[in-house]
Amino acid sequence: MKDTKKYILETSFRLFLQKSFKEVTMSEIVKTTGLSKGAFYHYFNSKEQLFNEIIDNYYMSFFRIDYTQFNQESLYDFYHDYFNYIERGLAWMAAEFGTDQEMNAINYYLLVFDAIRLYPGFREKTIQMTEHELRSWMAIVKTARENGEVRSPMTDEQIAKVFTSTNDGIGLHAIMLGRFDKMIQEILDVFDGFYTELKA
């Protein structure tokens, strides 16, 4: 096998997308990978260590976004580039881990709550990513204001928080209501409406 550790991570991530951390057993992981217990323990000391590396590889890496890859001259183009990035990520997850994107998304959120309890330092890393996200949105809002694209009396921070919080809120709400297939378009529609107000 070319990369056994990567194979274990991918296979285990599929299991964690189907069940919670507690429900997935070590014996199930070993059986699904087709490896011996000895081979498994060569790479991971415990289920907790495996889970932490899965969070690093499939959560942190996806949400540790390089916002400089998005257009830095226009707020409109910036958030559309952002949506293209999210859509590519969802398409990759569907291709790699199954076509039931809604169930993947639900279990993805459950993994996050498991990580809050089980992963030392997870909350701190999430805070750092959130602060980086907010600063990146504030920077493009500042540029858009300077270019005359934004004329709102709201502060740059307030505008940035509306974008980031709306994204999170509508996303979670859509999943809870079984509207995952409409989630991206619903968020984009709200962003476009808010953007129109910012230009007024």
Q: Which of 66, 74, 91, 82 is nearest to 188 (CA)?
A: 82
Q: What are the extents of the domains in the chain?
A: 1-55, 64-199
H-assigned helices in the chain: 4-18, 26-33, 37-43, 47-55, 61-63, 75-97, 101-118, 122-146, 156-176, 180-199
Confidence of residue 133 (pLDDT cuts 50, 70, 90): very high
> What mean pLDDT do residues 29-35 have?
92
Confidence at residue 104, expressed as pLDDT on a 0 to 100 scale = 64
Architecture of 1-55 per CATH?
A: Orthogonal Bundle (1.10)
Please tell me the pTM assigned to this model: 0.83
Confidence at residue 74, expressed as pLDDT on a 0 to 100 scale = 97
Angle (CA) 164-113-22 rounded to 5° is 155
Full DSSP string of 168-199? HHHHHHHHHTT-HHHHHHHHHHHHHHHHHHHH
Rg of the chain on CA atoms, in Å: 19
Q: Which of 136, 138, 140 is nearest to 158 (CA)?
A: 138
Average pLDDT of the residues of the chain: 88
Confidence at residue 152, expressed as pLDDT on a 0 to 100 scale = 95
33-37, 56-60, 129-133: least confidently modelled range: 56-60
> What mean pLDDT do residues 135-159 have?
97
> What mean pLDDT do residues 75-98 have?
85
**Helix pair angle (101-118, 180-199), 10° resolution:** 80
Confidence at residue 81, expressed as pLDDT on a 0 to 100 scale = 97
